[in-house]
Amino acid sequence: MQPKKKKCYGCDLDKYIWKNFEGNKYCSNCWNSIRYATEGPTFKQITPPKKKSKKQEGLDRAYSMLRTPFMEKHPECQAGLDGCSFYSTDVHHIKGRGKWLLIVAKWMAVCRHCHDWIEANPIEATEMGFRESKVTD
């Protein structure tokens, strides 16, 4: 059974009543207008992003300095999987980032398509030599 429409106190139209405020009945549009006028906007407060530590800022700076010449030296995708776009855009970290972030020997220049495939298919990528275990050094 559907609720009956009743007259809204705010817009004076027959609508489904949303709230009863101070003895008066309001539709959802009128109720939201009243709430906004009395309480102000109810949007969630956006918190600023956390600041990086000095150590992480230093690692990021060093990574950027190493990444630029690496990408200039390797303009073609080194994976060359099906659907490859040929030009490298990303650095794939073969052993992951962490303590191997700045070890260029464990980097691979890849296109976005190949990088997505490597991340989505870890078992096949390991068999093809695009990934290595993080456990063994």
Is 80 exceeded by the pLDDT of residue 10? no
Q: Is residue 61 domain-resident?
A: yes
Residue 48 falls within a domain, yes or no? no
| 18 pLDDT above the threshold of 60 | no
The yes-or-no verdict on residue 127 having pLDDT over 80 is yes
**58 and 123: one domain?**
yes
- The pLDDT of residue 79 is 94
pLDDT in tens, 90-102: 999 999 988 999 9
Whether 6 contacts 19, CB under 8 Å:
no
- Same-domain status, 117 and 60: yes
Residue 90 counted as domain residue: yes
Residues 60 and 15: their CA atoms lie apart, in Å, by 58
Task: Quote the domain boundaries for residue 25.
Answer: 6-39
Domain check: are 75 and 122 in the same one?
Answer: yes
In this structure, is residue 46 part of a structural domain?
no
- How many structural domains compose the chain? 2
pLDDT tens digits for range 68-84:
999 999 999 999 999 99
pLDDT at residue 51 above 60?
yes
- pLDDT-derived band at 133 (thresholds 50, 70, 90) equals confident
Q: Are residues 67 and 110 in the same domain?
A: yes
Q: Please answer whether residues 34 and 21 qualify as being in contact, where contact means their C-beta atoms are separated by less than 8 angstroms.
A: yes
**Residue 60, number of CB atoms within 10 A of its CB:** 12
pLDDT score of 110: 96
- Note whether 30 and 73 are same-domain residues: no
Whether 33 maps to a domain, the answer reads yes
Residue 68 lies in a domain: yes
Indicate whether 132 belongs to any domain. Answer: no
